[in-house]
């Protein structure tokens, strides 16, 4: 029996990303069984028709295909292989890990689950909370091709799928590369916007020029105009999770013997932001560190409107 055909899916991790992704699966007609340590997050999905499982093990005893959207690599490994983990549920066949877990932990998860006859499709996502809500995420997947084909229809509800290789861990490496580029763009755009503001340039005009020119990037198009200039800092990705991504990327550089000088500097800026604002603060708060050093704020016209 194909779990994709019977339209029953288990979903563990109902946070900023997991809740909208689970919601899209419900909207597409999938029957969901959900699990999270946050009872409120579970209740919100149960109110939309999902069933609740008491633990990953209980969930894996009732569903064949299980999606994960969990914060940290150690959590993913525990949810998979721990005493109350998926490995001990008799029905589980395919685990799709949508989290950013890093290649090493993903390989550990895949090895441990394979011993129980469970295959892992490594499938981290890019595109933020907005992409998760609209179904416009970029999903990069690696793992056994036949298992990938089986879960493809459900994953297609979440965004654009790209198959990157046949081993779990490969998609994680791809994801770390993407996120390093994205956070580096935010870091340098933040620093240069602070320079412009201090020199007397208007913030909205700077963004207009950058986006019409060769400096255009994902921060200048999206994060800075939508979440920094209005001073809302609510992009929806926690500094602590971004710091994890950057650490995992630099760990991989060490393991592969590849220098990453610019990436190491970006890590320092993230560490400063995390120390100042806490791991739960929004990633876009990073600019406030540079603003503090320079004694100037990067504020757009939209900030005035929101305040007024």
Task: Return the residue of 4, 14, 66, 187 that touches ligand NAD, per CB under 6 A.
Answer: 14
Give the chain's radius of gyration (CA, Å).
20
The whole-angstrom separation of Cα 112 and Cα 80 is 8
- Residue ranges in 38-57 that form contacts with ligand NAD under rule CB under 6 A: 38, 41
Token pair recorded at residue 253:
């550089």
Task: Return the residue of 65, 100, 285, 299 that touches ligand NAD, per CB under 6 A.
Answer: 100
- Residue ranges in 128-147 that form contacts with ligand NAD under rule CB under 6 A: 128-129
Scan for tokens 């940290």, then name that residue: 72
Nearest Cα residue to 103 out of 184, 164, 50, 167: 167
- Residue ranges in 218-247 that form contacts with ligand NAD under rule CB under 6 A: 236-237, 241
Collapsing DSSP to helix, strand or coil, 248 comes out as helix
Query: CB neighbours (10 Å) of residue 24?
Result: 19
Q: With residue 23 as reference, give the H or E element that holds it.
A: helix 18-27
CB of 36 to ligand NAD, least distance (A): 4
CB of 34 to ligand NAD, least distance (A): 10
With beta carbons less than 8 A apart as the criterion, state whether 120 and 110 touch: yes
The whole-angstrom separation of Cα 265 and Cα 289 is 14
CA 17, 245, 303 angle in degrees (round to 5)? 60
- Does residue 23 interact with ligand NAD by CB under 6 A? no
Strand partners, 169: none
With beta carbons less than 8 A apart as the criterion, state whether 241 and 126 touch: no
CB of 242 to ligand NAD, least distance (A): 8
Closer by beta carbon to ligand NAD, 138 or else 201 = 138
Closer by beta carbon to ligand NAD, 100 or else 299 = 100
CB of 104 to ligand NAD, least distance (A): 15
Token pair recorded at residue 181:
């580029």
With beta carbons less than 8 A apart as the criterion, state whether 246 and 180 touch: yes
Helices (H), 157-300: 170-198, 203-212, 218, 239-256, 261-277, 286-294
Task: Return the residue of 37, 255, 262, 265 that touches ligand NAD, per CB under 6 A.
Answer: 37
Task: Return the residue of 4, 11, 18, 53 that touches ligand NAD, per CB under 6 A.
Answer: 18
CB of 284 to ligand NAD, least distance (A): 11
Active-site annotation holder among 57, 175, 223, 288: 175
Closer by beta carbon to ligand NAD, 227 or else 237 = 237
The whole-angstrom separation of Cα 134 and Cα 20 is 8
Site string for ligand NAD, 142-181 (x = CB under 6 A): ----------------------------------------
CB of 18 to ligand NAD, least distance (A): 5
Q: Kindly indicate which of the ranges 32-40, 166-174, 226-234, 287-295 contains the residues binding ligand NAD, using the contact rule CB under 6 A.
A: 32-40
Task: Identify the DSSP state of 172.
Answer: H
Closer by beta carbon to ligand NAD, 13 or else 300 = 13
Q: Kindly indicate which of the ranges 6-14, 144-152, 163-171, 205-213 contains the residues binding ligand NAD, using the contact rule CB under 6 A.
A: 6-14
Scan for tokens 């895949």, then name that residue: 110
Catalytic site includes residue 160: no
**Residues within the interface to ligand NAD (CB under 6 A):** 12-18, 35-38, 41, 69-71, 75, 79, 99-100, 125-126, 128-129, 236-237, 241
Catalytic amino acids? 175
């Amino acid at each position: 029996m194909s779990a994709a055909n019977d339209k029953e899916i288990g979903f563990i991790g109902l946070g900023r990303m997991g809740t909208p992704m689970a919601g899209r699966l419900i909207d597409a007609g999938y029957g969901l069984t959900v699990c999270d340590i946050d009872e409120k997050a579970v209740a919100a999905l149960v109110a939309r028709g999902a069933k609740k499982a008491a633990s990953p093990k209980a969930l894996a005893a009732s569903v064949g295909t299980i999606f994960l959207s969990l914060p940290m690599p150690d959590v993913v490994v525990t949810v998979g292989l721990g005493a109350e983990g998926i490995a001990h549920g008799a029905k589980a066949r395919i685990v799709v890990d949508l989290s950013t877990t890093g290649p090493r932990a993903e390989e550990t998860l895949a090895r441990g689950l394979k011993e129980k006859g469970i295959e892992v499709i490594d499938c981290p996502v890019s595109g933020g909370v907005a992409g998760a809500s609209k179904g416009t995420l970029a999903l990069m997947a690696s793992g056994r091709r036949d298992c990938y084909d089986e879960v493809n229809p459900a994953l297609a509800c979440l965004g654009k799928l790209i198959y990157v290789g046949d081993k779990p861990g490969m998609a994680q490496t791809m994801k770390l590369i993407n996120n390093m580029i994205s956070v580096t763009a935010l870091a340098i755009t933040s620093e240069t916007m602070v320079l412009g503001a201090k020199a007397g340039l208007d913030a909205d005009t700077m963004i207009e020029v950058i986006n019409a020119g060769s400096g255009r990037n994902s921060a200048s198009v999206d994060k800075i105009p939508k979440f920094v200039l209005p001073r809302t800092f609510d992009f929806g990705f926690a500094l602590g999770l971004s710091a994890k991504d950057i650490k995992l990327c630099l760990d991989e550089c060490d393991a592969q013997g590849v220098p990453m000088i610019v990436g190491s500097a970006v890590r320092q800026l993230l560490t400063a932001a995390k120390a100042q604002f806490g791991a739960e603060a929004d990633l876009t708060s990073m600019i406030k560190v540079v603003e503090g050093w320079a004694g100037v704020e990067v504020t757009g016209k939209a900030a005035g409107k929101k305040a007024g």
